[in-house]
Amino acid sequence: MAFIRLRLTLQVVIATLQLVAYLPIHLNWRVGVQCFSRYTHAPMSIRVIGINHKTAPVAVREKVAFSPDALEDTLNRIKADKAALNKKNEVVILSTCNRTEIYSFANYSLDEMLDWLSHQSTLSKEEIKQHLYEYQGNEAIQHIMRVASGLDSLVLGEPQILGQLKSALKISSEYNTAGTTLKRLMQHTFSTAKKVRTQTSIGSNPVSVAYAAVNLAKQIFSQLDKKSALLIGAGETIELVGKHLKNTGIGSIVIANRSVENATRLANEIGGIGVALQEISNYLPDADIVISSTAAPVPIIGKGTVEWALKKRKHRPIFMVDIAVPRDIEEEVGDLDDIYLYTVDDLQSVIEDNIKSRQEAAEQAELMIAKEVEEFMGWLRAQDKMQLIKNYREKVSSIQQETLEKASKLLRNGSSPEEALQFLAHTLSNKLAHDATAAMNKAAHSGDHKLLEASDKIFKLSEQNTKTAHNKQTQDSSDTHNKESS
């Protein structure tokens, strides 16, 4: 019978422990960190550092941009760092012609993140800092969503950046540097960008860097039906350029790319021909328009090659647009007579007229993004609280197991069930109350009213005082009634 009583008592104690483990749900996160800092890690935050077309000229951006090999090397270094230090740090790197940004959910310092930029660049960290921006928390989330929605692009509302962000997440996931939080943020961001595009008129007009380049070509040559275009690269930007040129009725298109297969595939879609990069010099003398966008680390077209082509053309002008970062066309080419060379920075003035029609849609998009930022921040705060609760429950479970083992040992050594129960009740109450009472005592001495208020809320102490006072009043009334009856 005693053992049955002991088992029932243990079940009650365990149920009480489970109830106590839920109490931190009511705790405010910031106060909770103070109360339970011994059992939790400092919260990490979303962070963004980067440079873009607003903060740095192309001459700087091309030196900071990650080539495919540099990106692979950097992600491998981050992955090795995580494995060696057993960190849960998360990183995604975005590198395009107009921006290079690092997104992190980690405890990395700004200096560590700058190391990744300077390691693969010819610029020092101090030089990069002159053009750097940094965001944390909800500002970082807002920035990422604005980037994905095209609100921070050279061409307001352009859709290409969303695909580039998806590619950046894919690569980081392959190298295991993107974890649960950044993946969740990116998926939320992609969903937000889709809402912006479908629920506003931000993308109603076909405006992009590719469109701006073709539009400039039309302004220079007026009619393109008798002109020839040489496109270098086979990525999304060149694909868009090719489609826009086809719609203008361009005379002919040649696409040169490192992969002849990719060049031919794209050329077949737009009615052109595909050739290898090594054949550029063969087609340059016939090209009236040259638009280049590759990921090559060094220029593909040099001044000497262009001078030779101009002689072959008898100095008929060539319109050239270098969209690549780093640049595909040597800067000195622009000094040649009969050459009209533009970079991505030069396109800004071309697209300003198209931006005006998107301003109203952009204002709507900003409101939508603000709402989505708060929604994601709510999810992020919930994760912090869930971890706090998990840590607390693990602590309570540890106390429970340790105390039960000691009580069982007393029984095995001959102690009576009553003695084991007395030990169990006394030890559990002391262990569960120790940290809380010590913290409240310290708070009382230091005047930390916020912590005391949180403790009152967690342990429902005011309710207990009210209940105690009510019971005493009831008892006093009962005693008075008994005396009167006597």
List, by residue number, the catalytic residues.
Answer: 97
For residues 440 and 455, the answer to whether their CB atoms sit within 8 Å is yes
Q: Which of 371, 364, 298, 310 is nearest to 335 (CA)?
A: 310
Distance in angstroms (rounded) separating the CA atoms of residues 100 and 114: 12
What token pair was written down for 9?
């008592």
Distance in angstroms (rounded) separating the CA atoms of residues 49 and 139: 12
Q: At 189, which helix (H) or strand (E)?
A: helix 180-199
In this structure, which long-range contacts are made by residues 20-27, counting pairs with CB atoms below 8 Å and at least 24 apart in sequence? 20/396, 20/432, 21/389, 21/392, 21/393, 21/396, 21/397, 22/389, 23/458, 23/459, 24/385, 24/388, 24/389, 24/392, 24/458, 25/385, 25/389, 26/457, 26/458, 27/385, 27/388, 27/454, 27/457, 27/458
Characterize the bridge pairing of strands 228-232 and 273-276: unpaired
Distance in angstroms (rounded) separating the CA atoms of residues 18 and 15: 5
For residues 280 and 253, the answer to whether their CB atoms sit within 8 Å is no
Cis peptide before 326 (omega within 30 of 0): yes
Distance in angstroms (rounded) separating the CA atoms of residues 275 and 363: 44
- Contacting residues for 293 by C-beta, under 8 A, at least 6 apart: 97, 232, 233, 235, 237, 238, 241, 323, 324, 328
Distance in angstroms (rounded) separating the CA atoms of residues 102 and 113: 8
Q: Using N-to-C axis directions, what is the helix angle for 180-199 and 160-174, rounded to 10°? A: 170
Q: From the CA atom positions of the chain, what is the Rg in Å?
A: 34
Distance in angstroms (rounded) separating the CA atoms of residues 186 and 178: 10
Distance in angstroms (rounded) separating the CA atoms of residues 215 and 385: 53
Helix, strand, coil percent content, the chain, rounded in steps of 5 = 65, 10, 25
For residues 139 and 63, the answer to whether their CB atoms sit within 8 Å is no
Q: What type of residue sits at position 208?
A: S
Distance in angstroms (rounded) separating the CA atoms of residues 284 and 296: 18
Distance in angstroms (rounded) separating the CA atoms of residues 324 and 293: 4
What token pair was written down for 157?
């509302």
